[in-house]
Structure 1
């Protein structure tokens, strides 16, 4: 979720959290369709809908004034879980090469390390920026397209070029965003005081 009013409670039973829970349920469904059946189109649709609607719960929380502590934790967790699950599943079925997978995993590990270092020194994570959101969206959009390209008959002619263009361009943006976050963190450390930024 993007920056908004501070949550006042855990707020478990809210419409935004229900949407997030439904998105979370899509992860095992995607894995089942991809790995245990031949319903590859359906797997791609579940992945595209589940990951592509990451903005819905945030919008609902703000419009319905139902921002909650649980939502602040669960929403980004589900977003990251979608990316990591899709990444590893597609690598397992040989739709993604290991160098690409490692490049994404190292980037994620870099960001986790950055947050740990900032927390250790009493800082909140740097505020999310447009480049970071765009990079994540482009990388994720490539995954369902690559499923179609690699597993749906006669779809590779159009899907493979589109999927790989999104994947490699998204990876470049992903690392560019990481460098911006590192630069922001360095600015926080040089500033010598904690600032209350919130990552969406």
Structure 2
């Protein structure tokens, strides 16, 4: 029955999300302290695969949960932000690219109050935004692969750079679309006044 696992914590998708969460400090240690780019690359790939699997398994096993609905996007954003910051520290991407991407998420976080004050759910996901996130999360391993000493390092830098440019442009555009939706809602509907008990 759909929703039977809605309040469960220990589900396969949630375990995968928690493992990805634990992988964040390990990734930072590998990239910034050990400079073990090969292992950091492997961890990024594994994180991407488990991110894909947890959503699929949640639907396939009927293990969607409230925790999963919060945890999965939180871990996605945390991985993206920490990876961007680490890449800036290592000089793999310009600081302003990371600032644009993180700034977009900060602006959208602020727009959520528009929906909350009107007792509305957050806006539906724009699938173009999912494509942009996928492009960015794919760009980062390729950029890292471009730093390693192997036959395809030049391809890794070029392909990763192209994905980064495309992903950044679309990510910012979907940010504009989400912000526009919030503005329309704010103008069309008054905020709900809650009576104090």
TM tier, shorter chain? 0.7 to 0.9
- TM-score of the aligned structures, taking structure 2 as reference length: 0.86
Are the aligned partners of 2:118 and 2:189 in contact in 1 as well (CA < 8 Å)?
no
Are the aligned partners of 2:114 and 2:182 in contact in 1 as well (CA < 8 Å)?
no
Are the aligned partners of 2:118 and 2:190 in contact in 1 as well (CA < 8 Å)?
no
**CA apart distance, 1:9:** 4.2
**CA apart distance, 1:39:** 2.4
Unaligned runs of 5+ in 2: 192-197
Are the aligned partners of 2:88 and 2:95 in contact in 1 as well (CA < 8 Å)?
yes
- TM-score of the aligned structures, taking structure 1 as reference length: 0.85
Unaligned runs of 5+ in 1: 195-200
Are the aligned partners of 2:27 and 2:43 in contact in 1 as well (CA < 8 Å)?
yes
Indicate the larger mover: 48-57 or 92-101.
48-57
Are the aligned partners of 1:7 and 1:69 in contact in 2 as well (CA < 8 Å)?
no
**CA apart distance, 1:102:** 0.9
For 1:127, the equivalent position in structure 2 comes to 124
For 2:64, the equivalent position in structure 1 comes to 67
Distance 2:120 2:5 in 1: 21
Instruction: Determine which structure has greater relative contact order: mean sequence separation of CA pairs < 8 Å that are 6+ residues apart, divided by chain length.
Output: 1
Are the aligned partners of 1:27 and 1:47 in contact in 2 as well (CA < 8 Å)?
no
**CA apart distance, 1:111:** 0.9
Are the aligned partners of 1:51 and 1:82 in contact in 2 as well (CA < 8 Å)?
no
Are the aligned partners of 2:13 and 2:55 in contact in 1 as well (CA < 8 Å)?
yes
**CA apart distance, 1:11:** 0.8
Matched, 1:102 2:103: no
Structure 1 residue corresponding to 2:8, chosen from 11, 14, 22: 11
For 1:198, the equivalent position in structure 2 comes to none
Distance 1:134 1:97 in 2: 22
**CA apart distance, 1:122:** 2.5
Structure 2 residue corresponding to 1:158, chosen from 143, 155, 167: 155
**CA apart distance, 1:73:** 1.2
Aligned length: 189
Distance 1:163 1:121 in 2: 41
